[in-house]
Amino acid sequence: MSTRALDGLKIIDLTRVLGGPYCTMILADHGADVIKIEPPQGDEVRDWGPPFLTRDDGTRDASYYLGANRNKRAMSLDLARPEGRAVLLRLLETADALVENFKPGSLEKWGIGYDMLSARFPRLIHCRISGFGADGPLGGLPGYDAVVQAMTGLMTINGDPAHGPVRMGTPIVDLGTGLYAALGIMMAIHERGTSGRGQFIDMTLHDTALALLHPAGANYLLAGKRPAATGNAHPNIAPYETFPTATCDIFIAGGNDGQFRKLCAILARPDIAANPAFATNADRLANRPALKATLTAALAGHDGAAIAITLIEAGVPAGAVQPVDVALNSAHARHRAMTADLDGIKTLGTPIKLSRTPGGPRTAPPAFAQHQSEILAEHGFTAADIAALEQDQIIRPRRR
């Protein structure tokens, strides 16, 4: 088996739903031993379907869960009880990082907040993912992707201005928070190599959503003008939007004047580039409706997929608008290993391609408590200890 970049790291994952599990999946993809600890009722996204995978024992897991939990090992633990917290502390003795998304104050209430953990485990990195953080005007309030999209302006810059604010089609705030959290953990691990000390990472959906407001946030901070939704068009660049053709819509991203002139030449319409109204990007933005109408007419007789390939091969960014199934089954997606089959469960691949230490999907998303006995045995629990924990319902073989 190839050496992976994060081999040797142990991550205790107390997260549920998406931002946290997505973070730890990124780490697991590249070799970290991620131990997913679920409450007695399990991670609720196991129920967020259909579609569902029905396992051999009759339990079922939703695709929402499967898509964010590959390469992990799973066990259950009731942290509301002191005996469960004692088990967690045993697991943390050899852990590099703890990732959790409890409501701020929950772990402190149980006596296992960061102050206590850092005193007992000074090298431990503790990453908390929450909606808004523990303090401030919104501190401690629950956060959900779409709600935070609404509160931070993301919805108002998405969609068509005629139809009002629109939620983004992917949970971009949850995914972005997971990505930032994984990056933060690796930063803290790198710094620990010098200081020998762990630290607390305070990740929030709110902060991530605001950080994702580029270029709308940068435009507002410079010009003081409230950004508005522009549909598929870009607020700073033209042409940069979808155009209809004889067969399908295509997206053209003419990022500079040279690309625009090349576009017009390929369409056999150099007169468009010669028009003073379209001479520079600022001119094209000022005259966007006329530019859209002119290019739409010039593209009307073309096969969309063919002209898009012609354009991109010539250095003009363009692509046919494709549905998800077509994109995932494309020749290039297969070439880039962006889908995989794990014991009959199809999953997305990793976009992080490392030359010497490749990562990616290895093991299927675990069933509830699938690795419970082996994890506990690795941490010094005897068979009798494990049986007693199960008898007392500190751990469970099946969801409550």
| Per-residue pLDDT at 255 | 85
| Mean pLDDT within 94-123 | 96
For the question of residue 7 being annotated catalytic, the response is: no
pLDDT confidence band for 41 (50 / 70 / 90): very high
Q: Which of 174, 207, 343, 392 is catalytic?
A: 174
| Per-residue pLDDT at 65 | 97
pLDDT surpassing 90 at residue 123: yes
375-387 pLDDT, tens digit per residue, is 999 999 999 999 9
pLDDT surpassing 70 at residue 1: no
| Per-residue pLDDT at 39 | 97
pLDDT confidence band for 393 (50 / 70 / 90): very high
280-321 pLDDT, tens digit per residue, is 999 999 999 999 999 999 999 999 999 999 999 999 999 999
Mean of all residue pLDDT scores within the chain:
96
66-85 pLDDT, tens digit per residue, is 999 999 999 999 999 999 99
> What phi and psi values does residue 348 have, to the nearest 5 degrees?
-75, 155
pTM for this one?
A: 0.93
